[in-house]
Amino acid sequence: MEKITVKFPDGSSSTFSKNTTLFQIVKSVDDGSGKDYIAGKVNGKLVDMSFPLLEDADLEFVTPDSEMGLDIIRHSTSHVMAQAVKKLYKGIKITIGPTIDNGFYYDFDYEENFSPQDIAGIESKMQEIIDQNLPVTRRELPREEAIEIFKNQGETYKVELLEEISDEFVSVYIQDDFMDLCRGPHLPSTGKIKAFKLTSLAGAYWRGDEKNKMLQRIYGTAFSDTQTLEDYLQRLEDAKRRDHRKLGKSLDLFSIHEDAGAGLVIYHPKGAMLRSILEDFEKREHLKRGYQLVRGPHLLKLDLWEKSGHFENYRENMYFTEIEGQRYGIKPMNCLAHMLVYKSRIRSYRELPQRYFELGTVHRHEKSGVLHGLLRVREFTQDDAHILCTPDQLEEEIKGVIDFIEDVMKIFKFEYEMELSTRPEKSIGDDSTWEKATSILKQVMDKNRIPYSVKEGEGAFYGPKIDVKLKDALDRKWQCATIQCDFVLPERFDLTFINSNGIKERPVMLHRVILGAMERFIGVLIEHYGGAFPTWLAPVQAIVLTVTDRNMGFAEEVYNQLTGSLLRTEKDFRNEKLGLKIREAQLQKIPYMLIIGDREVNDGVISARVRSGEKLKSMKINEFISLVQEESQNRG
C-alpha cells in the first residue's frame, strides 16, 4: 500500500496509507483533548472530514468554535433549513443559502407568504432533522447529470446556476432525501449542529435584481454552543432597540420617502445639525493636517470616465445622462476632479505632497434589494481625499493617514481592525504595478507592527487598499476608513511633477476616506450610542423646561442666553406637567434638562439634570454654559 506523509501545525508528522480520510487520521492521532473536529485544511484548502488524502500534505483540523468552523456550521444549518422547508411546503423552490456575518439565509420561491408563525414550525422540523443525525455526503457529478436531477425535482433556480457553470463536474451534498448544489465543506452529520435560531423574514429579488422575481428570505444563525447563541440573541435584541431607522424616526433625524426615491435620504433639522457638526469636525481635522479644500462637479464627460477605467469596470454602479448630444456620467467617486485640480498647472517636487479634501456627494446605482436605511443608499457624501506625492513620500503619507484614522477612532471611542485587500479579477494596470502598490501598503503595516488580515481579490479596480473595520458598542463590525494606493490613474491621466533634476516624473496617488460615507457613519453612530450622543455631537444639547406659565419670562432669558452662546438649545414652555416634559426630553435623549420654577426665578439660577436622571446642583447660567462648552471641547 502506497504511503503518504502528513505534517501537522505543531511541526510533527505521521505516515498514512494513501486514501486515508481525515476521519481516520483523527482516530489515529487523538491527542486526548476531546476536541470535536468538523473539517480540515489540506495544504490550505478547506475540505470535509471524509476527504481522502492522495499525496503528502500539510493538515490542520477545524474546530466548531473557530471562525472557519462557525462558517461551516452555519452553511450546514442553512441546508438543514432548506430541507425542512421543502418537507413542510410542497411545490416550493429553493435558490441559494450562503453564510453571512453572524449567520446565514436561504431564499425560497413560494406562492404563499411566510409568517412569523411559520418560523416556529420550520425550527421544529429542523430540530427533527438534527436529532436524526443524518450523514452528510459529498458527491461529484457530471454537470449534465446534475442538471437532469434538479430538472426532475423542478428546481429551476439550481438548473439556471448549473447552466452557467463551465466545469465538467460539480459537487452536491446529500442528507437523506435532500440534495443541494454546493462547493462545501459541510459538517459530517446534521447532529453536529448544537445551537441555532431563525431570526427574521425578508423579501429579496433573485440575484438582487428588481427585474427578477421577488423571493422570500429566511435569516438564521448558528453557534457551536447554546450559551454563545443566547448571548448573541441578547445582542440582537439590543441591536433592535438601537436600530438607526427606528431611532432616526423617534428622534426626528431623517426620513426616506418612496415618493422621493428609494435610497435617498432627507435630513430633518436635528439630523442636518448632527451632520453639520460632523462636517465641521472633519474640515478642522483635515485643515490642521495640511489638506486643502477642493470641490468637483457632479457631472463629468463620459470621455473622462472611459479614460479612468470607471466606464469599463464600474459602469453598472453609475448613472448617465446626455446634454446636447454629449454623454455625461454622474460621479460615483471624486478622484477625477481632484486629478484635474492637480493637472491645472505644472507641479514641482517642492510642492508635494498635495492633499486635496472634499466632502464630495456621489451617486451609485444600488439595487433596491440591498438598500438599508442610512447604511446602504444611492446618494451619499464621502469625506474623500486624494494625496499626490513622490514615490519617496509614499510610506510617510500612508503612515500619516493611518495615524489620522487612529486619532479619529479614539475620539469616537471605536475599536477597529485592519485588512489588506489585494487585486480583484476586474482591474486595470499591470502585475508589477499592483505588486509594488500592495508591497508598500504591507510594508507600512509590518514596519509599524499594525496587525491586519489579508482579503484576496477585494481591492479597488485601480489599486490595493487597506480597509478599516470599526467595532461598535455591540461588537459589530462596520466598513469605515480606507486607504487605496494607486499607480495606475496618474499614468492614465499623465500626471507629472518636475523632480530635483528638472525631469518630469510620475506621482503616486492615495485615495482615502476617514469616516467613509457620512450617511453610513451617521447610521453607525446612532446605533453605537443608541441615539444618546455625547454632548459635543448632540443635535440638541439642552432643553429649557418651565414648571408653570409664570416662569416663562426668566425661562426665555435663559433660552436666549444659551442660544446666544451657541449652545444647541430647545424650549418647552407648554402648560403641561413637569414630569411629562422631563420624560419626553429623556426619550429625545437630550443631554441636559434645565428646570425653571419659582425658586430658580427668585434666585436667578437654573436646576439642571442629565438625561440619566442625575440632578446637578443649582448654578448660574454662565456656569452651565462653561460646563457644556468645556465638555464639548473635550469631546464629552
Catalytic residue numbers?
335, 364, 382, 384, 386, 465, 511
- Matching residue, cell 443566547: 230
Peptide bond into 353 cis (omega under 30): yes
Tell me how many degrees the CA angle 623-626-631 measures, rounded to the nearest 5. 130
Cα-Cα-Cα-Cα dihedral sign, residues 159, 160, 166, 172: negative
Question: Hey, what's the cell of 89?
Answer: 411546503
CA distance 414 to 186: 35
β-pair partners for 142:
169
Question: Hey, what's the cell of 304?
Answer: 473622462
Cα-Cα-Cα-Cα dihedral sign, residues 426, 432, 435, 440: negative
CA distance 627 to 614: 15
Tell me how many degrees the CA angle 143-147-148 measures, rounded to the nearest 5. 120
- Matching residue, cell 426620513: 255
Cα-Cα-Cα-Cα dihedral sign, residues 345, 350, 352, 358: negative
CA distance 9 to 417: 26
Cβ neighbours of 290 (radius 10 Å): 12
Tell me how many degrees the CA angle 588-591-596 measures, rounded to the nearest 5. 90
Nearest Cα to Cα of residue 300 among 317, 275, 319, 273? 319
98 φ, ψ to 5°? -80, 165
Cβ neighbours of 231 (radius 10 Å): 12
CA distance 265 to 521: 13
54 φ, ψ to 5°? -110, -10
Nearest Cα to Cα of residue 487 among 529, 520, 439, 543? 439
- Matching residue, cell 507629472: 496
Question: Hey, what's the cell of 185?
Answer: 465543506
